Amino acid sequence: MKNIFVINGGQVFGHSGGQFNKSLLGATLSFFENQPDFQIKSTDINQPYNLKEEVEKYKWADVVIYHTPVWWFQLPHGFKEYIDTVFTEGHKTGIYNSDGRTSANPAINYGTGGTLHGKHYMLTTSWNAPKEAFTLPGEFFNQHSVDEGVMFGFHRMNAFTGMKPLESIHFHDVMKNEYIQQDLENYNKHLVKVFIDNKIEHESLLNSHSTC
């Protein structure tokens, strides 16, 4: 039995109702609830949460799934507050012990003090930007992918804790609402690919340190 912790970072704010990421959360819950080898817990950052309980969810999980829109090329401020406060609560209580360096040699081993080794995470992002903005020469993101560009720091944050990435999936043009159903179908296929069909990653999960 593998433990999945899914976080909806789709903040309700201004003109954003957060519906797309709420739909992704629902799709994730439905998918894993219908799989016999998985247990699932979730958090919606729009609802009140207890910091100690959130740290325990990270410790419990074998895989953390993040759903987030990208606002002004960053996380929504409510999701960033969640990360800041929960990870601070997790200092020496299960997420990380230090930045990994020692006073004897402070120039090396930065980023090696995490305590979530053996765990994985998966990122989904949603964008108003079209996918071509990342892939075509001369377009806005200079042919840098989402993972290598805007979300690079997010991936390093998770590496700092000791977690390793599973394949991301990114959704584009979501504000036009033209591809929502297709996006949800593609997401379900992605979950099947990563957690059911991909024997290498699936066996890695089955052999991870946490069992129940």
Which CATH number goes with the domain that contains 195? Answer: 3.40.50.360
pLDDT of residue 176: 72
Is 67 among the domain residues? yes
What pLDDT, on the 0 to 100 scale, is given for residue 205?
A: 55
Domain count, the chain: 1
* CB-CB neighbours of 52 under 10 Å: 12
Cα end-to-end distance, the chain, whole Å? 6
Q: What HEC string does 146-191 produce?
A: CCCCCCHHHHHHHHHHCCEECCCEEECCHHHCCCHHHHHHHHHHHH
Helix-helix angle 51-60:77-89, to 10 degrees = 80
- Which residues share a beta bridge with 64? 5, 121
In a domain, 211, yes or no: no
Q: What Cα–Cα distance (Å) separates residue 77 from each residue in 13, 169, 183, 202?
A: 10, 21, 25, 33
The residue segments making up the domain with residue 26 are 2-206
In a domain, 190, yes or no: yes
What does the pLDDT profile of the chain (212 residues) look like in tens digits?
799 999 999 999 987 788 999 999 999 999 999 999 999 999 999 999 999 999 999 999 999 999 999 999 999 999 999 999 999 999 999 999 999 999 999 999 999 999 999 999 999 999 999 999 999 999 999 999 999 999 999 999 999 999 999 999 999 988 776 678 899 999 999 999 999 987 545 555 555 544 33
Is residue 9, in this structure, part of any structural domain at all?
yes
Tell me, what's the pLDDT at 16? Answer: 77
- pTM score over 0.85: yes
pLDDT of residue 11: 96
Does 212 fall in a domain?
Answer: no
Decide if 82 is inside a domain. yes
pLDDT for the residue 177:
63
Is 48 within the bounds of a domain?
A: yes
